[in-house]
Amino acid sequence: MERTTRIDLKLLRYFLAVAEELHFGRAAARLNMSQPPLSMHIKELEQQLGTLLFLRHSRSVTLTHAGKILMEESRRLLSSANQILARVEQIGRGEAGRIELGVVGTAMWGKMRPVMHQFLKTHPDIEVIFREKMPAKQMALLERRELDAGIWRMATEPMAGFTRVRLHESSFLVAMPEDHALTARDVVPLEALRYECFVTMPAMHTDWAFLQRVCQSAGFSPRVVREVMEPQTVLAMISMGLGITLIADSYAQMNWPGVVFRPLEERIPADLYVVYEEQQLTGAMAKLIAALTA
């Protein structure tokens, strides 16, 4: 049966000092303690291990074979322990750690992108894992504590017990082919889209479910002629003249050949929020939220 021995790391530090000095007096001085208790600790360690670590002579001390092996392993073990403890201290100060961050795809562009770039550059010991999920899925993962925070547009409210902080204001725009008649307008009334063909993502996508309700409140149901899975595919189809769409203004910051963006006369908010549980807020996550909201 395998024997399990629990050794106090302090005893290993005492042992290593004696092993390196090969002199109890010098080792005691190095440890800022008197020699008798140091000798007692070394005997305690030998008793726990059931083997001699030192051969004691009248004027010298030498390591046994077991002692030499323990010296090598103690150096590795104590070095590793010090690194682990330093890492934990960094995490406690928010200087290191890992953040599991839920995001909607449209959040990755716009104002959030340069802030995240600077944050990752100035905090190289903080690892941010981006998990692109729809808001409903993010909420489920937050509730199971599989995410540290979620970022989405507040068409969907967070559950009770969670904090939400607005990162910045944003709006939905009309995206249309460059030869569309409405491109002649600087601002487009929502009502002017009543008879347009829409290219969208599936209705289960929270942004689009919200936008459908906005159109319905304006007195019409959008006529969806094509549904695709990715926003870049939506914009590609619009560039081909297959319809129009409503999309967050962050996409207007990129060049989409053949696509023109126009603001709506009635602003549709697409404000970006970060959602998290206050009690589970880590030091690293607190730093990220401070950077995003600065």
Cβ within 8 Å of residue 150, ≥6 positions away:
101, 102, 103, 133, 135, 138, 139, 141, 142, 158, 274, 275, 276
Per the DSSP assignment, residues forming a β-bridge with 152 are 273
What average pLDDT does the segment 103-114 reach? Answer: 79
**pLDDT of amino acid 1:** 40
pLDDT > 50? residue 4: no
Q: Distance between CA 19 and CA 62 in Å, rounded? A: 8
Mean pLDDT of 247-276: 91
9-92 and 97-169+271-293 have identical folds: no
User: For residue range 209-231, what is the model confidence (pLDDT) as tens digits?
Assistant: 888 889 999 999 999 999 998 88
- Please provide the size of the chain in residues: 294
Architecture of domain 97-169+271-293: 3-Layer(aba) Sandwich (3.40)
Average pLDDT over residues 126-133: 87
CATH architecture of the domain 9-92 equals Orthogonal Bundle (1.10)
pLDDT at 210: 83
Compute the average pLDDT of residues 133-146.
Answer: 86
154: pLDDT strictly greater than 80: no
Q: Which helix (H) or strand (E) holds 18?
A: helix 9-21
Q: Which residues pair with 197 in a beta bridge?
A: 223
Separation CA 103–CA 282 (nearest Å): 18
Is the confidence at residue 166, as pLDDT, over 70? yes
For the chain, give every domain's residue range: 9-92, 97-169+271-293, 172-263
What pLDDT is recorded for position 241?
94
Class of domain 172-263 (CATH, top level)? alpha beta
Q: Which is it for the CA torsion 95, 99, 105, 107, positive or negative?
A: negative
Mean pLDDT along residues 258-279: 91
Given pLDDT bands bounded at 50, 70 and 90, which one contains residue 20?
very high
Q: How far apart are CA 104 and CA 209, in angstroms?
A: 14
